[in-house]
Amino acid sequence: PAADRLGLERTDVEVSDAGFIVADVSGRTADPHILAVGDVAGEPMLAHKATHQAKLAVAAVRGKDISGGSHVVPAVVFTDPEVAWAGLTETEAKATGRAYSVALYPWAASGRAHSLGRPDGLTKWLIDPETDCVVGFGICGPGAGELIGEAVVAIQQKCTAADIGDAIHPHPTLSETLMNAADVHLGTAIEIYKPRRR
Q: Which residues are catalytic?
A: 171
The dihedral built from the CA positions of residue 156, 161, 167 and 171, taken in this order, carries a sign that is: positive
C-alpha–C-alpha distance, residues 26 and 57, integer Å: 5
**CA-wise closest residue to 150 among 131, 127, 169:** 169
The three-point CA angle 65-69-75 to 5° equals: 120
Packed helices 144-156 and 176-186: angle between N→C axes, nearest 10 degrees: 50
| AA identity, residue 51 | T
CB 102 within 8 A of CB 134: no
- Kindly tell me the burial class for residue 183, based on how many C-beta atoms sit within 10 Å of its own C-beta (0-12, 13-18, 19 or more): buried
Alpha carbon of residue 196 to chain centroid? 27
